[in-house]
């Protein structure tokens, strides 16, 4: 692996190329990407700290995307690295489609509810004329590998950060009255101000059993006696619970359903608050990504899915009606992204749904509050453990997310630079640490291994500079402000440099002899 000094010297040389100093008319080298909304707010702050901000030089960004306070002055490294990253938060599935075709024109317009800028006066207008990377919370599959034309080389999948998926809820119950969340104050949470907020956003608590009942459609009402008993014996509210989910292909959905598929396997309970029939709370909704050619066989979600057949869909891809035996209420936004889910939650009395931390309280003051969850350690331990309450709950924040990711080891060196193997080791179905938040996972940056030298002569420098920045203190401070944590050192060493710096199969230009890219067209 080349040293940090080597790459910074290379970057400095690049900075000196073409102009002695930036001007208002300076056109910076554009790096185009699209995909996951899960990390999109944090990505915008990170990219603007390292490189030229999307809307001009220096500190001229419009809040909330002014240069982040955790970014090193002056304006990170923007004045040194003549580049600018444009990123469209359109969902993992749409980002993947554009990546496999190396066609920025396939990136759809982000949701109107998105608050993340994705164009710049410094660059050509949307749609993107080129495409350099895809961001996703989902894994790379063998089908993705097979679908990528050989002229672009391999998929290099790099974990950029780790985060939690939260249960966010409306302030009011189904009848428009305030949620009365005064449950027991036994919540595990961050206590270090340097790592973000230190107070959970609510005292609304969900046991694993009720979490699974909610997602499977068997928890329907805010005054369900089980929910009341779990939250200190005080009724939270009345009226229907409306569960809000993503409608588009989503890495957030993948992390969420990966956890639900595993953690709900052995959960049982009454069909609903008025029907005592004992039923399973296993994740019942099927995988909408399975090809219609599989109709007649099982469509069950094997581990997780970025797109599932929720019961508010009229039918699955086989034309079969989707049953909802519990009778719960489900709904979806009409546009893509986590911001769209949050908009529906905040405008719907009694709503609760899933989202990443960078759209919710306590990280975003205007966002909805989130529930605290029972984790694997508490669900499976004996009732009495000295000095610990009979049941406790875990808030989604930087401390509990880091605890969730702590035991997740990268693949062994024998796996080589195989993105599929790296992906499979990155799945976090059921964190078992005492203080681990139960729904967490990596989000990934996916690059091509081969780029066209004529249009992207410095892409290797830019990618490596970005990776070094992501492992530094400025980036970690920005991540913490949004509830995210960096990958562990073992993942950085194995999955970043083990792939990018591979002398044959790593990131290269199509004119580099001795590499797998020599003679290939390379990505534009």
pLDDT above 60: residue 412: yes
pLDDT of residue 387: 57
Contact 190, 196 (CB under 8 A): yes
State how far Cα 360 lies from the chain centre. 14
> pLDDT-derived band of residue 347, with 50, 70 and 90 as boundaries?
very high
pLDDT per position as a tens digit, 183-236? 777 799 999 998 999 999 999 999 999 999 999 999 999 999 999 998 888 899
**What's the rounded mean pLDDT across residues 428-453?**
95
Long-range CB pairs of 276-283, under 8 A, 24+ apart, other chains included: 279/218, 279/325, 279/326, 281/209, 281/212, 281/213, 281/216, 281/218, 282/212, 282/216, 283/212, 283/215, 283/216, 283/257
Report the first-to-last Cα separation within the chain, whole angstroms.
26
> pLDDT-derived band of residue 308, with 50, 70 and 90 as boundaries?
very high
pLDDT of residue 240: 98
What is the Cα–Cα distance from 328 to 221, expressed in whole angstroms?
8
**What's the rounded mean pLDDT across residues 420-428?**
88
**What's the rounded mean pLDDT across residues 135-157?**
94
Kindly state the DSSP code that residue 287 receives in the 8-state scheme.
B
Give the CATH number of domain 4-162+403-430+441-509; options: 3.30.365.10, 3.10.20.600, 3.30.420.40, 3.40.190.10: 3.40.190.10
Report the interhelical angle of 473-481 vs 459-470 (nearest 10°).
70
> pLDDT-derived band of residue 65, with 50, 70 and 90 as boundaries?
low
Closest CA to 201 of 213, 187, 191: 187
Mean pLDDT of the chain: 87
pLDDT of residue 64: 47
- Give the list of residues 6+ apart from residue 473 with CB closer than 8 angstroms, or none: none
pLDDT above 60: residue 59: no
Query: Does residue 167 sit in helix, strand or coil?
Result: strand
pLDDT above 80: residue 61: no
pLDDT of residue 76: 43
Contact 167, 334 (CB under 8 A): no
pLDDT of residue 388: 60
Structural domain boundaries in the chain: 4-162+403-430+441-509, 165-400
**What's the rounded mean pLDDT across residues 444-459?**
96
17-31, 43-57, 107-121, 268-282: segment of lowest average pLDDT = 17-31
Residue 313 phi/psi, 5-degree rounding, is: -75, 145
**What's the rounded mean pLDDT across residues 345-368?**
96
pLDDT of residue 12: 41
Q: What is the largest CA-CA distance in the chain?
A: 75
Q: Identify whether 362 is preceded by a cis peptide bond (ω within 30 of 0).
A: yes
**What's the rounded mean pLDDT across residues 410-422?**
86
Task: Choose between 60 and 480: higher pLDDT.
Answer: 480
Q: Identify whether 74 is preceded by a cis peptide bond (ω within 30 of 0).
A: yes
pLDDT per position as a tens digit, 457-499? 999 999 999 999 998 888 999 999 999 999 988 899 888 999 9
pTM: 0.89
**What's the rounded mean pLDDT across residues 242-257?**
93
Contact 169, 178 (CB under 8 A): no
pLDDT above 50: residue 175: yes
pLDDT above 70: residue 15: no
pLDDT per position as a tens digit, 72-113? 754 444 444 578 899 999 988 999 999 999 999 999 999 888
pLDDT above 80: residue 389: no
Contact 427, 404 (CB under 8 A): no
What is the Cα–Cα distance from 114 to 91, expressed in whole angstroms?
11
Task: Choose between 19 and 146: higher pLDDT.
Answer: 146
Residue 324, exposed/middle/buried by CB under 10 A (0-12, 13-18, 19+)? middle
pLDDT of residue 385: 54
Return the C-alpha torsion angle 31, 104, 426, 413, nearest 10: -70
Query: Does residue 44 sit in helix, strand or coil?
Result: helix
Return the C-alpha torsion angle 271, 276, 281, 287, nearest 10: -20
Range 165-400 has CATH code 3.40.190.10:
yes
pLDDT of residue 450: 98
pLDDT above 80: residue 21: no
Kindly state the DSSP code that residue 500 receives in the 8-state scheme.
H
Residue 17, exposed/middle/buried by CB under 10 A (0-12, 13-18, 19+)? exposed
Q: Decide if 4-162+403-430+441-509 and 165-400 have a common fold.
A: yes
Give the angle 424-428-434 at the CA atoms, nearest 5°.
Answer: 150
**What's the rounded mean pLDDT across residues 277-286?**
96
């Amino acid at each position: 692996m080349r040293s940090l000094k080597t790459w910074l010297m290379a970057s400095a040389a690049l900075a000196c190329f073409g102009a002695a100093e930036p001007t208002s008319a300076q056109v910076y080298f554009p790096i185009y990407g699209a995909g996951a909304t899960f990390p999109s707010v944090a990505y915008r702050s990170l990219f603007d700290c390292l490189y030229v901000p999307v809307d001009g030089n220096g500190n001229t960004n419009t809040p909330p995307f002014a240069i982040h306070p955790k970014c090193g002055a002056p304006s990170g490294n923007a004045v040194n690295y003549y580049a600018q990253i444009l990123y469209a938060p359109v969902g993992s599935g749409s980002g993947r489609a554009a990546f496999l075709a190396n066609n920025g024109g396939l990136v759809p317009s982000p949701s109107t509810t998105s608050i993340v800028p994705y164009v710049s006066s410094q660059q050509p207008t949307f749609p993107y004329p080129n495409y350099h990377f895809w961001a996703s919370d989902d894994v790379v599959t063998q089908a993705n590998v097979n679908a990528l034309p050989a002229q672009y080389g391999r998929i290099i999948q790099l974990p950029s950060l780790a985060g939690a998926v939260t249960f966010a809820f409306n302030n009011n119950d189904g009848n428009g009255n305030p949620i009365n969340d005064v449950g027991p104050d036994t919540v595990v949470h961050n206590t270090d101000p340097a790592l973000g907020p230190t107070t959970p956003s609510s005292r609304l608590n969900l046991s694993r059993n009720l979490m699974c009942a909610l997602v499977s459609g068997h928890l329907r009402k805010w005054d369900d006696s089980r929910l009341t008993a779990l939250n200190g014996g005080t009724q939270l509210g009345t009226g229907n619970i409306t569960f809000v989910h993503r409608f588009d292909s989503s890495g957030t959905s993948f992390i969420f359903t990966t956890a639900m598929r595993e953690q709900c396997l052995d959960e049982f309970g009454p069909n609903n608050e008025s029907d005592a029939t004992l039923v399973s709370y296993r994740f019942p909704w099927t995988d909408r990504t399975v090809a219609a050619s599989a109709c007649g066989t099982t469509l069950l979600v094997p581990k997780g899915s970025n797109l599932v057949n929720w019961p508010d869909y009229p039918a699955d891809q086989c034309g079969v009606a989707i049953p909802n035996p519990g009778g719960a209420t489900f709904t979806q936004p009409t546009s893509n992204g986590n911001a769209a889910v949050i908009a529906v939650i905040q405008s719907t009395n009694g709503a609760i749904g899933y989202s990443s931390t960078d759209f919710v309280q306590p990280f975003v003051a205007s966002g909805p509050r989130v529930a605290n969850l029972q984790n694997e350690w508490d669900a499976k331990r004996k009732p009495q453990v000295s000095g610990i309450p009979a049941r406790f709950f875990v808030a989604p924040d930087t401390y509990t997310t880091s605890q969730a990711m702590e035991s997740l080891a990268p693949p062994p060196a024998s796996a080589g630079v195989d993105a599929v193997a790296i992906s499979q080791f990155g799945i976090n179905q059921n964190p078992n640490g005492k203080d681990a938040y139960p729904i967490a996972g990596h989000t990934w940056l996916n690059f091509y291994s081969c780029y066209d030298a004529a249009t992207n002569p410095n892409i290797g420098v830019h990618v490596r500079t970005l990776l070094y920045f992501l492992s530094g203190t400025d980036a970690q401070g920005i991540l913490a402000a949004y509830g995210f944590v960096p990958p562990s050192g073992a993942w950085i060493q194995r999955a970043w440099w083990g792939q990018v710096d591979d002398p044959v199969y790593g990131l290269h230009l199509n004119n580099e002899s001795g590499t797998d890219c020599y003679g290939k067209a390379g990505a534009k």
